[in-house]
Structure 1
Amino acid sequence: MKKAVQALAAATAVASAHLSAHAGDGQFQLLVLAMPTKYHYEYIPVARESFEKLAKLHAFELTWTAQPGAFEGDLSRYAAVVLLNSSEEEFNEAQRAGLERYMKAGGNAVVVHRAIISKPGLWPWYEKLVGRSFVIHPMLQTAVVTKTDVDHPATFGLPERWIWSDEWYEFSNPHGVSVHPVLAVDERSYDPTKIWPGQVAKGMGADHPVSWWHMFEKGRVFVTALGHNAAMYRDERYLDHLWGGVWWAAKGYGASSKP
């Protein structure tokens, strides 16, 4: 009896990992990878609920997983994959190869917050996919975000100047990748040097993007550094920003969709 209950629970978990908006009648299929990590796990049930609501509202099919093993299978049915706070450091060689095959075949990617961070030199291809390399971030603070690409769908639901609280990641560009900024943070509106003892953050100056897009391999890549706290995944403006990026990555619509 116990084994039967366990088997039923497992089957239910597998079934619930896929949400069909209209029984195969959706606009596209989306894969979201949300792996729990030391600092990013409380957001998962909140983000999943919001993505499921988005799937119903916008008629797309959602596959949600916490296992990077999904990247070892056939990804061709997905219009885009979302790496939601999921570090590439957890990928094994087969999973890395799977993501590379997907992008080289014309797949599209959305990289959110913690998924930007990668160990330097571990997977250079992934650093190029993201377009920028994480350096450090000061303590979470409130700051002013501005639009740098008003024609990108990820900005359509946002005001010209947006007060937001987050970890303001600082970046470098060791691979010389050209990206198109969508949002930037105004460093005059927070203290870029406010950080924990023993660490140093200097800020990036006037040119400090926090969201961008670019074309990589044969696909579209949308990146946002925003999204640290669980409560953010209930914020309508943040979800407008995130959904705009997902929609653009999956469909390619919007004035900024061409290089």
Structure 2
Amino acid sequence: MKKTVLAAIAAAAATLAPAAWADTQYKILVLAMPSKYHYEYIPVARDSLEKLGKLHAFEMTYTNKPEVFDGDLSQYAAVMFLNTPPEELNEARRRKFEEYMKNGGNAMLVHRSLIIPEKTWPWFEKLIGRHVGTHPMLQTGVADVVDKKFPAAFGLPDHWIWSDEWYVFDNPYQIKINPVLNVDESSYDPTKIWPGQVSHGMGKEHPVSWYHYVDKSRVFVTALGHDGNMYKDPQYLAHLMGGIWWTATGKGIKQ
């Protein structure tokens, strides 16, 4: 009798387990389109994000096809532009994304997606919260955590040695942002740039990751993530995961 009961329990567990394993907390869309200097990251980032999805129980649509914006965006808790040139979206798809955000959608913008030709899509420039002017050559520097209460900083040391393109920003639309990481300009050369170009630092307040709100929608931004190998780095992935979690759910900020 005891064996029969145990067998029945095991059979029931086997029936229920796949459904339980399939449960996900939310679904995100990741648009990862190649550009001239950003394409090798795509398969690496996909593999790492899929592993994060399995570990943290979220579902992901990962694509390099802008046609995905022709579909139903409301199914996604967040849309991530991953190194994707935002100007690649045509007018109709831009409007679809704007409508998604106006209806309570959320956005996460990574590295190359922060660069958009001025006045090409002013709405998106405001969504970013800053405008990229120049960026020096990739260099090793120190990113300082300025908001320890935000999830994208939880897996990072207070002073994080990182190598990237340290974008220089201005604020033409006077958008208020909440910095998460600043780069210490004394740790690299802000003027080191290609011949014929000129770059200057921003001083002490040089954000490289931040969050803000557009109406009731959440926007998380990180300027970090130039090289494909970065998407294998545990600390960088912790940074991305904290951003994904907060962007999709609004949870995680410590009081």
TM > 0.5: yes
Q: Which residue is equivalent to 1:69?
A: 67
SS of 1:136's partner is coil
**Cα displacement (A) at 1:22:** 4.2
Q: Which residue is equivalent to 2:110?
A: 112
SS of 2:192's partner is coil
Q: Is 2:163 the counterpart of 1:142? A: no
Question: What do residues 9-58 of structure 1 show as CA deviations (whole Å, max 9, x unaligned)?
Answer: xxxxxxxxxxx9943x1000010000011100000000000000001100
Q: Which residue is equivalent to 2:9?
A: none
**Cα displacement (A) at 1:68:** 1.3
Q: Which residue is equivalent to 2:227?
A: 229
Measure the CA separation in 1 of the matches of 2:254 and 2:111. Answer: 22
**Higher radius of gyration, 1 or 2:** 2
Return structure 1 stretches of 4+ with deviation > 3 angstroms: 20-23
**Cα displacement (A) at 1:70:** 1.1
Paired residues in the alignment total 237
What are the residue-to-residue correspondences of 1:28-47 with 2, within 5 Å? 28-47=26-45
Native 8 Å contact 1:21 1:55 kept in 2: no
Question: What do residues 135-176 of structure 1 show as CA deviations (whole Å, max 9, x unaligned)?
Answer: 010110000110111000000000010000000000010011
The structure whose residues are more often helix, as a share, is: 2
Q: How much is the aligned-residue C-alpha RMSD, in angstroms? A: 1.4
Native 8 Å contact 2:110 2:225 kept in 1: yes
What are the residue-to-residue correspondences of 1:20-35 with 2, within 5 Å? 22-23=21-22, 25-35=23-33
Output the TM-score relative to the length of structure 1. Answer: 0.89
Q: Which residue is equivalent to 2:54?
A: 56
Native 8 Å contact 1:137 1:169 kept in 2: yes
Measure the CA separation in 2 of the matches of 1:68 and 1:181. Answer: 30
Question: What do residues 78-100 of structure 1 show as CA deviations (whole Å, max 9, x unaligned)?
Answer: 00011000011101011100110
**Cα displacement (A) at 1:255:** 2.6
Identity of matched residues, %: 62
**Cα displacement (A) at 1:218:** 2.7
Range with bigger deviation, 180-189 or 215-224: 215-224
Please list every run of 5 or more consecutive structure 2 residues that lacks an aligned counterpart in the other structure.
1-18
